[in-house]
Structure 1
Amino acid sequence: MSLLLKGILIGLLFGVPVGAVGAMTVQRTWEHGIKAGLLTGMGSSVADCIYAGIGAFGLTIVSDFLLEHQTVIHLVGGAIVLYLGIRLFFRKEEETEVPEVSGRWRMFLTSFAVGITNPAAILTFLFAFSWFGIAGGSTKGNGWLVVLGVFLGTWLWWGGLTAAVSLARKKKRKDSFQRVNRIFGVVLSLFGVLVFIKALPI
């Protein structure tokens, strides 16, 4: 099996678990349409590729540093998710179109920030690489194929998810906006609180 195909399979497996970014992607697709969902998913895919690259190229200095400080990084990520959840819960105005360039960048960057503040993803990728027989650092110049495969795999997942939500969106009721936002606001807030509970010694 080629490195590219292995990367795609790893990306698909890694993308399927739906966490905070999954909730963000569904909500934004529901409110703004498929473009907004894809922008959100891309932010997560890029973050995954960075961690996949660290594992594929055997950058142990970087991975050791991130894992050593993962509690602080997790707390930052939890704070971002909690903020997004509270802000979404109290929103009152509906935006039916994808925002301008600044808003699009914000969609990408917020999901990227949530994805990149999960250093434990490195361990997940290392386990997946080991399962598929990909040794960190041994891929040499072909490591980029694994990273590209991970991006394509996660992108396929986000593309499928946003397409499904987009189809359901066409049948939505006009008065469903605030109710859906409150539901996802609560979901994101719970994800943020959960991060704090797991990260802090209680």
Structure 2
Amino acid sequence: MIGSILIGLVVGFGMSIPPGPISVAVIKQGVQGNFATGIRIGIGASLIDCIYALIAAFASSALILKFQTFLDGHAWFELAFQIACIAILVILGRKYFHATSDDLRHSTEEEEERENRARKFGFSSAFMVGILMAVMNLANPSFLPSLIAVAGFIQAKDWLVDGFLGSGLYAFGFGVGVFIWFYVLLRLIIRMRSRLPVSYFTYIFKFAGGAFYLFAVILAVRVFLSTDWKSLF
């Protein structure tokens, strides 16, 4: 049970690292010294992400039941899928680690657009702004499929408790992981805001890229150690 929560926590934390509109909103509050406002935005966004993770876990469990038998009989396909996941992590790492000034500007502009849209809907509290900004993630066509893919990979490895309980614990841990990232990010920005260089946002992108590289290495090592290589040759 605790393992399902911890896996969700790690996944939620890791998937929140790439700078997006909500991260930019939290960073902006940190630079201004508004800790309470930033926390409320993070709580609102984390709550919605918890719901997204639950939906993804349920959706992926149905897919895994259909593919599990196929994967058991096709070791090469499973290995190819794992290698593809590693490649995606490396590509994401490169994307964020070598982010351009246009990427930085786009993230800032998207944050301002979402926050303004949330306030136009009458949501003035930071908590509700965080909720609506997270809801707007559904406009990204790759957002929910990526959550389903990650949850499916985890369930295919039998890392979660079976049934509703496992999905619920995973989703809870995911939401906690998202909130922890926003909390850590906000604390760091507030503590260092007087010493932040002009290019501080670039370092956040590089940190995200480095995290993806690290996850790729960890997954590669795990695949190498867990794969029955003799059965493949």
TM-score normalised by the chain length of structure 2: 0.50
The gaps in structure 2 that reach 5 residues or longer are 30-37, 72-76, 118-132, 225-233
Match of 2:18 in 1: 24
Match of 1:101 among 111, 114, 118: 114
The answer to whether structure 1 residue 127 and structure 2 residue 151 are counterparts is no
Kept in 2: contact 1:15–1:157 (CA 8 A): yes
User: Aligned partners of 1:83 and 1:46: how far apart in 2?
Assistant: 24
Match of 2:7 among 5, 14, 19: 14
Match of 2:179 in 1: 159
Displacement, 1:12? 2.8
Match of 2:65 in 1: 60
CA 50–154 in structure 1, closer or farther in 2 if over 3 Å, else same: same
Displacement, 1:13? 0.8
- Counterpart mapping for 1:141-152 below 5 A: 143=164, 145-152=165-172
Q: Which has the higher helix share?
A: 2
User: Aligned partners of 2:52 and 2:109: how far apart in 1?
Assistant: 26
Please say which structure displays the higher CA radius of gyration: 2
Identity among equivalent positions (%) equals 8
**1:110-164 deviation digits (Å, cap 9, x = unpaired):** 775665554542245x1342xxxx4xxxx4xxx3x54233212321332244234
Match of 1:76 among 66, 71, 88: 88
TM-score normalised by the chain length of structure 1: 0.55
| Farther off after superposition, 24-33 or 182-191 | 24-33
CA 185–88 in structure 1, closer or farther in 2 if over 3 Å, else same: farther
